[in-house]
Amino acid sequence: METNEKSSHIEQSSDDKWRLWVQKRNKLLLQRRRMERQPFSVEEIGLVCTQAKEGFAAQSSLLEPQPPLNICGDLHGQFHDLLRLLNYGGYPPKTRYLFLGDYVDRGPMSLETVMLLLLYKIRYADEVFLLRGNHEFENLNSVYGFKAEILRRYEDPNVWKQFNEMFNWMPLAALIKRRILCMHGGISMELTNWDQIRCLPRPMSFPVDAVSTDLMWADPVQNQKGWRGSVRGISYGFGEDAVYKFCRYMDIDMIVRAHQVVQNGYEFFASNHLITVFSAPNYCGVFNNDAGMVRVSRKLKCTVKQFRPPKPMSIKYVNKKSASKK
């Protein structure tokens, strides 16, 4: 198989060669400081997506990762900020991670961002956990930058399609020691038992019911009671009382979610029963927000780490005007 550097032959059936290749490309991405037009060949992307898809298919839609671990929110193609997070939080496999989705769109290096995470997932399946965000659905990433980036760099729509076929198998939520529920969006008034998540059908090319829709799209809303239709035009906004009721009924202590830009990189809600974490600093180059990361200890103590935005760089973002809609 030809790569952009030198000709090399990689076959998925050759486990040793495959592992060595994944390890090598993983290390090369960690050292990358500038964008290359095609850092991977089309065939390499296909192999990684296939391997990742098989790994996701073997997992439940409701993951149950063990603490301690770091939880990260939206990244949106801000690859160099992902490198900063890993440098500060520690690298797998010594540090376990749970990412809450929205790896692509808007930022300039969605390809590198998602490929680095997939390579880590392939190498360390028990130490790196990836949930699906609403931007890992074709109807969004065809509009907000990922498709345009792939077509600009590869001129092949099948590359973009391969990513979305893999996204369709990603899990939607995680439950840590049956006490901390994690997802990209929010809770659902229709969710009454964990098997509703475990039994969600995959591959899932679009949310199939209220539970899957809310896990991707729902938001906490200050000064609101109960549930109301979301200003996004999909799913719901929920008040503090809904969080208290949900936590009591499902017998959990905390909810960790992403999906919204928050100025400090994190924001508590409902007397610390819910926390929003957002891990893309200076989102789209206009928000000047911090990034956040939640650390969960072995005893389930949660602490939040903040990262200031890096010094300004000349970076092109996609759809800056619509970024606040998330």
Active-site residues, by number, are 135
Between CA 79 and CA 204 the distance in angstroms is 26
- Identify the three-state secondary structure at position 314: coil
Between CA 19 and CA 10 the distance in angstroms is 10
3: left (phi over 0), alpha (psi -120 to 50) or beta: beta
Q: Which run of H or E residues covers position 16?
A: helix 15-30
82: left (phi over 0), alpha (psi -120 to 50) or beta: alpha
Which residue matches tokens 């000064």?
223
Between CA 86 and CA 124 the distance in angstroms is 15
**By C-alpha distance, which of 77, 72, 135, 142 is closest to 102?**
135
Which residue matches tokens 């990603």?
170
Between CA 276 and CA 168 the distance in angstroms is 24
